[in-house]
Structures are given as structure tokens and as C-alpha cells.
Structure 1
Amino acid sequence: MTTSAFIASLVTNSSLLALWGALLLHWLLPVPHQLHPLRIWHRLALLIASRVNHPHENHSQRLLAGYLAWALMWLTALVLLLAISQLVWYPTLFQLILLWLSLDWQHSASLSHQFNHAYSNNNKDQCRQLLDPHINRNADVLSLLGLGKAGAETIILSYGRHVVGVLFWYAIGGGIAAVLYRLAISLARAWSPTRTQYVVFGRPAIRIAAVLDIVPLRLFALLICLGRNSRTTLQGLRQQGENWHLPGPGWLLVATGHKLALSLGGPAIYNNVKMVRPRLGGKITPAALHIAQIQQLMTQRLYVWVTIESLLLYFFCGVL
């Protein structure tokens, strides 16, 4: 293939152009976290739940309400996105914008750097402040070591869901699929069964999120296994991969924990109730050095992920 033919093939590959354009725009002009449309979605989810989730109803009624509420919000978003896609003049730009809104790579990196700085300075208050928007557990009762473990898990899963999952579903179904994935993850977060009022109502949302997560996060976990300590990491996956309550995040935590010999998981307190969680990974409690290692590992593997996805989109001519 000549150089001109190669350039022409790139220019005509709208999926690849939208991917690269969204990644570039995300780093040059990220959507401020406080102004992100997902915050409105999150508040709307809480509002709807307050109207249809009634604790006095029986188990099956609350479970049905959870499925119906999820379908109402998610399918409405699907219909609106499909309708808008039929009206836009530049489909590639539309897909680029949707992927740009769905990605949260820079925020995950910023969280990692800020938490590492606070953790290295033994600033428990700042660590709690940084983690509060991202976790449902009681951060006030966590020791500094507990905050380190919670921070490590949060950073790992933030990269997994807000970058890897988004890019995976973009490759499957374009920008609309990427947005719908983020909306589903946001519903699982808003209606988390770890909160007392959503123990039953939130199960549909977390089950659907688990189904959407299982393929991208497990693929990324296998990518993490490559290189140094690969044999130990793969052995850890075989031994502990199915222990976690969610199959996708479980693999990702196990792979990262064994790769860096870090101790993850373990008991956690939600709503002042101690929840027993399996211990994953190695034996070393995360320190500031390990938070930096997690950041480096995630970044390196994400570059590989983007490269592989770009090659697939190039050879298969995209999905748009």
C-alpha cells in the first residue's frame, strides 16, 4: 500500500478518526467534573428512586420497580440518542462528541495524582475528601492504611470503567454505545445495593453493569498479566478470579494486586455495617509508592489498549 493510499484509508475511517479526535479533545479540553452531564443523570436517578422505591413493599415489588426504573431511564436515553443521530449532519463529529463526554481518563489520572500526594503526606482528611465522591463505604472510620487500600481499588476501577469499558463499547457500537455504558455504570453507582435503601431496588442496576463489565475488564486484566510477574499474576487469577462478587472488577483487582504484590479487598464498612469481602492480590498494604506504580501500570496498559483498538478499527473499517 502506498503512502497516499494509507492516508486515504485513515481519512475515510470515521470510527478511527472519532476515536483519536475524542482522545485528543479529552486531554486538551476535558469536561469539568462538576459540570459533567452525568451529574444531572445521577441526580435524576436519585429523584426517580425516591418516587418508586418504597421500603414498605415486598421484595418482588421492589425488585420489579428497580427493573422498570432502570428501563425507563436507559431506554429513554437510547431513543433520544438514536433520534438525534438521524438529524446530525456530521455523524463522525457526533460520535466524537459522544465519546468525549463518555471518557474520564484525565479525571482518573488527576484523582490518582492528588490522592498519592495526600497519602504520601499522611493527610487523612484530604484522602477522605478525594474518595468520598467515588465510594459508598464509610471513609470516616478508615485508618491511613485503610484509605490507601480504598484509594488503590478506586483508582484501578476508575480506569477500568471510565476508560477501558468506554473504549470497548465504543469499538462495539460507536459513541452511542459508549454513552449508554457510562449511563448504566452511573445507575449502578447511584442505586448501589451497598446502601440500605437500595438493597433490593438496586440489584437490577448492579447486575446489568456486571454483564456490561465482564468482557472489557477481564480482557484488560489479561493485558495487565503480560510482562513481569505474568506467571504469578495468571496463577492468582485462577485462584482468586471468581471470588469477588462482581466478575469483571474482581479479575481487574486480582490481576493488579498480584502484578504488584498488593493486598486488596478485605472487610469494608457500609452504612455502619461491616461487610465481609474476600482478600485479593498479594500481601503488601498499598503505600504511596504503590499508588504511583498503579498509575504507571494503568497508563502503560491503556496505551497498549488504545493501540490495539486503533488497529482493529483500521483493519475492520470501524462501526460507524
Structure 2
Amino acid sequence: MEWLATLPIDPLLILAVIVASWLFPLPEAYHPLNLFRFFAKQLAKKVNPDLSRSTQQQLISGSLAVFVAILPIWLLFYALYQFSELPWLLDALILYGCLDWRRQTKAATKVGSLLQGQQLSLAKQQAATILLRDTKPLNEMGVSKAVIESLVLHSSKLFLACLGYFMLGGGLAVLAYRLLQELQRQWNPKCQHYINFGQPASAIANLTSAPASLFSACLLALQYGLVNSYKKCQQHRQFFNRGSFYLLSCASEALQCDLGGPAYYGNIKLARMRFNAKHPPIAADIAKAMRQLHFLHFYFFLLVCAVGLLNYLWLY
């Protein structure tokens, strides 16, 4: 069990950062990731200006762009660690900047309230702040489904995964992971302009987020029906990567509502597989999904505390 002694983990530090990110979230307009998003878009315009280039050229450009976007920032923070007398504080600040779950839940709660108040147009405008897909063609069911899917995936990829990488590698690990996920979002291959250029970033992002997606899927299956979740995961997988497929399958079973189905990206309709359940999603299912996801976060933190306790017992 020597590996326990090498984990840069402090449950109290993680809890403090989670509480701070929940009580004092960074305003969206001043979030440091906004600067990186702008940089990513400008970089894509420079290195991927012509969609008529061959697929291979676009894939090579996309691969190199990942390193150009992430490596300088990572090296800058690595240098800061070398001179920092309080590396735990730098860890905390990086993790705080990487967690934006509070913004997601606030927007989703507002969407649910607007839908229940029969304000579909305002709900679609609010949903557009956290969704990549086009919201204009969506009805009430479509908005509810899109927001639920976004919550489920973001809970796994941008909350639990960030905490997991922080446990394993500290601030530098979670920084590299979070920037990679942001590149996938900015260069999403579902959008026509990035269909080839965004493939390398998307592939690496999906690979690195898979453990957290599988962990979340297993917890949902254990809590809300292991046998039925297993059966649902046996259907033929289409469109979704494996981690998202298992996670949405189990989430559909846990919520007992339909997920998946067609989605519009840049006015282009993409045919996605459906996860059929007892009923179509409604506005109330958004709040239900958030409650279930918060239970997942609680279980994960219990795991963090257990590992921290083992670490302490091993060292002392």
C-alpha cells in the first residue's frame, strides 16, 4: 500500500474548496477560463482556417493545437510551484478555478422554474448558456432532456473527474485535465467547423474522463437498479462514446425518463440513439436529477475521506 503515501490528498482541503466554490462562485464574466476559451477559438481560426484541407491535415493541426494550447499554461504553473512556499494554497486556487458546478446547477434550476411557469422562450435562452446544442427548435420536453443530459455529463466530467485528478496528481493534474475538457467543448467535433480538427482533443478528453463516467454509472446502477441498468447497457451503442453511453444509460434508469435522441448542432440535426424509459422528461425531472447527482458527490467525498484516513493511518 505504498501508493497511499504518495497521494497528494487532503480531504479537508478538498472539502474547503468545494464549499468555497459553492458559496462564492466566480462570476461567469470574470472566470479565468473565459480567457482560455477566447484563446482556444482564436488558435483554431489560425491553424484551421480552411475546411477544404484534407482530413489528415486537419487532424494533424488539431493534434498540435492541443499541445500549443495547454503546454505553455501548464509549464507556467509548474514554474510557479517551484518557487511557491505554499503549494497547498496554489493547489486550492487551481481546483477552485476548475470547479464550476455551482454555475451549472443555478442555470439548470432557473430553466426548471421557467419551464414550470410555462415560459419556454426564456427557458431556452437560459439553457443556451450551459448547452452546446441549438435550443431554438426544442420544445419543453427537449429542453428538459438536454439540461438533464448536460447535468449528468458535467457532474461526471467537470466535477468528479476534477476531484479525482486532483487526488491523484494535485493542481497540475487537474489543470491539464480541465483545460483539455475545455478544448473539447470549444472545438467540439459535433459542430461542422471542427468535425475533423476537434477529433484529437475530443478523443483524449473522452479517454481521460472515462473513469469518472464509469464510476458515476456504477454508483447510479447500484443505487437505482443494478439488473435493469445492466440490461439497458447491453443495447447497441451508437453516436455516444463508451463512457457517456454507460452513464446516460444508468441515468435514464435512475430517473425513469427518456434520454438521448436527435440533437441540433449548428442547424445540423444529428441522429443519436435513445435511452427509453417509463416517460419523457419533464421540468420536475431536472430537480430530481440534481438531487441524485448531489448524492453521488456525497458518496464520492466519503470515498475521499476513506482514502485520506487510510493515508493517515499508513503514515502514522
> What TM-score, normalized by structure 1, do the two folds share?
0.90
Structure-2 residue corresponding to 1:154: 150
8 Å CA contact retained: 2:9, 2:168: no
Matches within 5 A, 1:124-135: 124-135=120-131
Aligned-pair CA distance for 1:234: 2.7
Greater CA deviation, 309-318 or 177-186?
309-318
The answer for the alignment partner of 2:116 in structure 1 is 120
| Number of the residue aligned with 1:197 | 193
Tell me the distance in 2 between the aligned counterparts of 1:272 and 1:29: 36
Matching residue's letter, 1:77: I
Amino acid at match of 1:93: L
Residue matched to 2:209: 213
Count, aligned residues:
305
Distance in 1 between residues matched to 2:208 and 2:180, nearest whole Å: 9
Tell me the secondary structure at the aligned position of residue 145 of structure 1.
helix
Structure 2 CA distance for aligned equivalents of residues 249 and 122 of structure 1: 31
Q: Which runs of 4+ in 1 moved over 4 A?
A: none
In 2, Cα distance between equivalents of 1:247 and 1:313: 30
Task: Kindly state the Cα deviation for residue 281 of structure 1 after the two structures are TM-superposed.
Answer: 4.4
C-alpha separation between the residues in 1 aligned to 2:242 and 2:291? Answer: 24
Name the % identity: 25
Q: Distance in 1 between matches of 2:186 and 2:312?
A: 36
Paired position in structure 1 for 2:279: 284
* Secondary structure at the counterpart of residue 285 of structure 1: coil
Q: Which residue, 31, 45, 50 being the options, matches 1:50?
A: 45
Cα displacement string for residues 252-300 of structure 1 (whole angstroms, at most 9, x for unaligned residues): 2111101121110011122222211000141411112211210110011
Question: Whole-Å Cα distance in 2 between the matches of residues 244 and 307 of structure 1?
Answer: 34
Kindly provide the amino acid, as one letter, of the partner of residue 90 in structure 1.
Answer: L
SS in 1 for 2:296: helix
* Paired position in structure 2 for 1:226: 222
Inter-partner Cα distance in structure 2 for 1:257 and 1:156: 10
CA distance in structure 2 between the aligned counterparts of 1:247 and 1:164, rounded to whole angstroms: 17
The answer as to 2:61 corresponding to 1:88 is no
User: Is 2:12 aligned against 1:17?
Assistant: yes
1:108, 1:159 within 8 Å by CA — same for their partners in 2? no
**For 1:281 and 1:164, how far apart are their aligned partners in 2?**
26
1:260 maps to 2:249 = no
Change (3 A) 1:192 1:228: closer
The answer to whether structure 1 residue 272 and structure 2 residue 267 are counterparts is: yes
Aligned to 1:6: none
Where structure 2 has 5 or more consecutive residues not aligned to the other structure, the ranges are 1-7
The whole-number CA distance in structure 1 between the counterparts of 2:305 and 2:83 is 27
CA shift digits 1:83-123 (9 cap, x unpaired): 11111111111111111111122122212211111121121
Would you say the 8 A contact 2:131–2:147 is kept in 1?
A: no
Whether 1:309 aligns to 2:290 is no
Secondary structure of the corresponding residue to residue 275 of structure 2 = strand
Residue from 51, 60, 77 that aligns with 1:64: 60
Deviation at 1:310, TM superposition (A): 2.3
Post-superposition offset of 1:69: 0.7
> How big is the shift at 1:14?
5.8
Q: In the TM superposition, what whole-angstrom CA distance separates every residue of 1:217-242 from its partner, at most 9, and x where no partner exists?
A: 111110111223332123222336x4
Q: Which amino acid aligns with 1:225?
A: A
Q: How far did residue 195 of structure 1 move?
A: 1.4
Map 1:88-107 onto structure 2 (within 5 A). 88-107=84-103
- Once residues 25 and 215 of structure 1 are traced to their aligned partners in structure 2, the CA distance between those partners, rounded to angstroms, is 26
* Corresponding residue number in structure 2 for 1:140: 136
Paired position in structure 1 for 2:33:
38
Q: Which amino acid aligns with 1:92?
A: W
Residue 244 of structure 1: CA displacement? 4.6
2:73 counterpart residue number: 77
Q: Alpha-carbon deviation of 1:317?
A: 5.3
Q: Does the aligned pair in 1 maintain the 2:163–2:174 contact within 8 Å?
A: yes
Given the alignment of the two structures, is residue 298 of structure 1 paired with residue 283 of structure 2, yes or no?
A: no
Offset, 1:250: 1.9
Cα deviation code 1:122-167 (max 9, x no counterpart): 2112221122133232211111211111111112122222211111
With normalisation by structure 2, the TM-score equals 0.91
1:317 to 1:237, Cα distance in 2 relative to 1, 3 A: farther
How far off is 1:182 after superposition? 1.2
Corresponding residue number in structure 1 for 2:21 = 26
SS of 1:22's equivalent in the other structure is helix
- In structure 1, C-alpha distance between the alignment counterparts of 2:224 and 2:184, rounded to whole Å: 34
